[in-house]
Structure 1
């Protein structure tokens, strides 16, 4: 068991989550500026340019998931989750471009003198909660980590496949997202999705003393 903090809350992670290959706390590898708020209207480049990556992020991956699809975290129903973004092979801007595989796209992250590059495996999809309250969690995965996407949405039980991938992200990502935002179907396109300290009951992260 290990203890980490997110948004001022202390977490005690399970042994499965603590088995992550991180040698550096993933929360310190990536962040958004305090003034950044996710909205439904944002496209991938809008999100990517606001990322702040530390030097330890080299070779790692960024993932955004909605663990609450389709019903919402406040529904009391089982959810399967959805993968909203997956970028691998993070590389500092001054280094040669990473070698992206067929079907992946080379994209730019961050801006200015701290530009980074990566291979976009799953194109960013903005929040589109159909019902209930949904959390959009951003994780870092350690270098060399991959997700089993070959059967994403294609297996005989795609719901189980989606749930397995969400679990995989939580475990390989160290159990705690470096950023999380939440919104509902009624949230206006340009309105700010709330941050974790404003999540409703049933959607808040479990804290330990």
Structure 2
């Protein structure tokens, strides 16, 4: 079953912004600005003596929430990277960052990953000239994601195009061409590129039990 908790509560529970609501998260309306304490009757009371397993579980939940991935799909991502050579935790983050819905968000075509997922599902983009409507589609270095010409006259798209012209915070592993309305995967993303402090090795330890 999908997690239907308030996105703001999820951020407050994590104790930091997870940027789940897009533009609102960088405004004064953000719940972490107005009420930074944890949700609940005893909000603000830190948890005591959390076990190592509890910390690992919390980290797994945090990463899942950032990318909006449910447990079954998250396990699939983990199973895939575990078979690859390299540091499993870093490979997991790299794979999550290169999901189609996340890249749409990172490039600025969407204000949040949730919206990015909707846009991909609505067949708004192509990858290397081919239509892709699967949010979990994994992108690779050299891939070019482009907003379809037939979608550029929509009211939403016109508004985002104006925002793209001023966008300055595109991650270093991506290249945005705001005139052509396309982005290119220039390199593999690193752990420090996601903007939120996480320790993917704790996820590896959690699943290794």
TM-score, length-scaled by structure 1:
0.28
Greater helix share, structure number = 2
More RCO (CA 8 Å, sep 6+): 1
Q: Which has the larger radius of gyration?
A: 2
